[in-house]
Structure 1
Amino acid sequence: MYDIHHRIGINAPMERVHHALTTTEGLASWWTTDTQGDPTVGGKLVFTFGSPDRSASFEVLEVADDRIVWRGIAGPDEWIDTTCTFQLTQEGDETVLFFTHGDWREAVPFIGHCTTKWGTFLLGLKALLEGGRSCTYPDELVISSWDH
């Protein structure tokens, strides 16, 4: 299995970071504006990037004060049965987000694309929570033709 990892320090209270990861309005503020679903355990979240054939769905497996876990259930074939884990810790005034998109079956080229895209979206989350702008879809940073 293969994993993507990112560690981001965010100068915002852990509760604000948690809210951005566990509510549809919070998720829509940094990933894609077309975010729908139920962000509670057992719920399903759907993230759409312009059209239904460019969407990803996740089952919410865990929501704790310091950890959120989703499992891919629809979308890119490579994402089916992968897990997204958002681990939060407080280090002084900084909330540290350790993100893992894990359990990829193969190290395909798409994993490289997703690594970079996750990084841009997570840096947008950091910027937003620190008083700046996110790079939410459809205004995200385009890194290649795969973004269209």
Structure 2
Amino acid sequence: MSYSIFHNLEINASTKEVFDAVSQPEHLNNWWTLKSSGIPKLNQEYNLNFTDSYNWYCNVSEVKTNEYILFKMTKSDRDWSPTTFGFDLQETETGTSVRFSHSNWRIQNDHFKIASFCWAILLNGLKKYLEKGIIIPFEERN
């Protein structure tokens, strides 16, 4: 059995702007990572660096530009190791519907529950970044 985190939100921005924000390192660094690298192409590796202790890696496991992207963790802490997270985007009259998922968690431990809460906060930061240009300093993204 595995467990998943799901969050849905509306962002008043185009699917291209949202896709770029969740797949381009220069945008990821403005709402999630301290520094990152990677390109949104199938099987490409991303480095997601948060601190020296949290210097993680993942691969793009599915992607269709401006529609969806999924990342499978390859090097991370034990709880995140088998997981896959991603963004499914759909154009709406007012912008983009974002369906976020983070699946294949082995147990619903405290880390799973904290990650769910943190994703909600971070996704709200993504929304503020795209809609208002607000960049929350990395040290305050917790």
Q: Do both proteins adopt the same fold according to a TM-score greater than 0.5, normalized to the shorter chain?
A: yes
Q: Secondary structure at the match of 2:31?
A: coil
Q: Which amino acid aligns with 1:54?
A: Y
Q: Which amino acid aligns with 2:84?
A: T
Q: Which residue of 2 aligns with 1:63?
A: 63
After superposition, the C-alpha distances for 1:101-143 in whole angstroms (9 at most, x for unaligned) are 0010111110111011111111111001002413352331x3x
Aligned-pair CA distance for 1:9? 0.6
Q: Which residue of 2 aligns with 1:5?
A: 6
In structure 2, runs of 5+ residues without a counterpart are none
Q: Which runs of 4+ in 1 moved over 4 A?
A: none
Q: Which residue of 2 aligns with 1:146?
A: none
Q: Which residue of 1 aligns with 2:31?
A: 30
Q: Distance in 2 between matches of 1:60 and 1:84?
A: 10
* Identity value in percent: 27
Q: Which residue of 2 aligns with 1:54?
A: 54
Give the CA RMSD over aligned residues: 1.4
Corresponding residue pairs, total: 140
Scaled by the length of structure 2, the TM-score of the pair is 0.91
1:86 paired with 2:92, answer no
In structure 1, runs of 5+ residues without a counterpart are 143-148
Q: Distance in 2 between matches of 1:32 and 1:72?
A: 15
Aligned-pair CA distance for 1:15? 0.9
Scaled by the length of structure 1, the TM-score of the pair is 0.87
CA contact (8 A) 2:72 2:84 kept: yes
Q: Distance in 2 between matches of 1:74 and 1:2?
A: 19
Q: Which residue of 1 aligns with 2:19?
A: 18
